[in-house]
Amino acid sequence: MLNNKIQDALNAQINAEFWSAYLYLSMAMHFEQEGLTGIANWFKIQFKEEQAHAEIFINYVNQRGGRVTLKAIDAVPTQWESPLDAFKATLAHEEKVTAMINEIYAITEEVHDYATRDRLKWFVSEQVEEEETARGLIDKFTMIGDNNMGLYMLDQELGSRVYNAPSALAE
């Protein structure tokens, strides 16, 4: 049986992952409308990944005989000034998610729930990747500045991203 404090934290995390999915879908829709279909593709894949993150937590709570409680998903922003602005918002958001994961990790140690701590390890590494990717894209968009050819090429590059289900989804 799951400790109540852990169960509440995991349910909050499920909600946060769905909020992330909603945020990235909103970014995808914004760039779709701007004609930047490659950037839109990148965020659509990010949307799918976040849904998978929520599903990994859902599967885990069920595995432990806990109860998943789905709460309302808050509204997300709908407009960004530029791709650089959106990737800066992405990094800031992922840093918040990292802090949430770290907080749950600390609770698992406090209540000696080592199974949940083990499950969280995948997310700890995943967050390192998420932040690294966002930082890399901020660098690229900063580099091209307002160069349209650079924007065109970067949009093409992000258009080639394909979705791969996270490994932890199969566990």
Which residues of this protein are in contact with Mg ion, per CB under 5 A? 17, 50, 53
Nearer to Mg ion, 37 or 133 (CB): 133
Smallest distance, Mg ion to C-beta of residue 69, A = 19
CA distance 120 to 75: 27
Nearer to Mg ion, 30 or 53 (CB): 53
Nearer to Mg ion, 17 or 155 (CB): 17
Query: Between 4-33 and 83-110, two packed helices, what is the crossing angle to 10 degrees?
Result: 170
CA distance 136 to 45: 17
166 three-state secondary structure? coil
Smallest distance, Mg ion to C-beta of residue 84, A = 22
Smallest distance, Mg ion to C-beta of residue 49, A = 7
Question: Which is nearest to 139 in space by CA: 89, 90, 87, 92?
Answer: 87
**Are the C-beta atoms of 17 and 50 separated by less than 8 Å?**
yes
Smallest distance, Mg ion to C-beta of residue 122, A = 11
Nearer to Mg ion, 50 or 113 (CB): 50
Distances, alpha carbon 74 to alpha carbons 18, 68, 77, 89, 160, in Å: 10, 18, 10, 16, 30
Smallest distance, Mg ion to C-beta of residue 152, A = 29
Question: Which is nearest to 120 in space by CA: 90, 98, 93, 95?
Answer: 98
Nearer to Mg ion, 113 or 126 (CB): 126
